[in-house]
Amino acid sequence: MPQGKKYRKAVESYDIEAIHPSSDALAKVKAMASAKFDETVEVAVRLGLDPRKADQAVRGTVALPSGTGKNVRVAVFAAGEAAQAAREAGADIVGTDDLAAEIEKGKMDFDIAIATPDLMPMVGKLGRALGPRGLMPNPKTGTVTTDVGRAVTEFKGGKVEYRTDRYGNVQVPIGKVSFGLEQLEANFAALIDELVRAKPASAKGRYLKKITVSSTMGPGVKVDLSPY
């Protein structure tokens, strides 16, 4: 992140090593946001696990009660009645071979891809295009389903994906700085509750090792882990 004058001023306004209750941390993030656009508020969590082990890879979805504040574009691989259900639910792009052809050309103007199980053999061939962007449909995240209408509605309404990176970190957007503090607190609590629920049985020791909240252009604020 480029450390401009506004960023440095924000850092100088508080103790970067201080640990705050989640509500205070989110309030500081809101107060320090100074960009001319509505910055995204993001939570970064360091988990005490080894993601190189298959049984410790954490991945799933969480419904944020206050939504994300973002217009989520959804593409759906479906045909027949399922395709119609996806359109009625508000999907931005619906198709089969035609959608696959567009993706192969590099046209991926969407944030989430959903597919019916019968079309996964076709979608699987798009792994090189969808995989690196985290867009490959997966049953674990509810993006491979026969009920595409419900899936579209949920992702449009604030359902987001989470997954550990190679270092055991999870980064998830929980709203915008324009959100009220109570809205951000509700989304933060929903995310942490979900991560705790998803703790692998094989993970030993301290599970939540570090939690930081920040805005798109702002510095990170450390969250007190003692309640968790």
- Tens-place pLDDT, residues 53-101: 888 989 999 999 999 998 999 999 999 999 999 999 999 999 999 999 9
Q: Which CATH superfamily is domain 74-156 in?
A: Ribosomal protein L1/L10, domain II (3.40.50.790)
pLDDT at 57: 86
Answer CATH for 15-67+159-223 from 3.20.20.80, 3.30.190.20, 3.30.360.10, 1.10.260.40: 3.30.190.20
Domain-by-domain residue ranges, the chain?
15-67+159-223, 74-156
List pLDDT tens digits, range 96-108: 999 999 999 999 9
Q: Residue 43's pLDDT is what?
A: 98
**pTM, rounded to two decimals:** 0.83
Q: Please tell me whether residue 208 adopts helix, strand or coil conformation.
A: strand
Domains 15-67+159-223 and 74-156 share a fold: no
Instruction: Report how far apart, in Å, the C-alpha atoms of 131 and of each of 98, 141, 167 are.
Output: 19, 14, 19
Give pLDDT tens digits for 166-222: 899 999 999 999 999 999 999 999 999 999 999 999 988 899 999 999 999 988 999
Length of the chain, in residues? 228
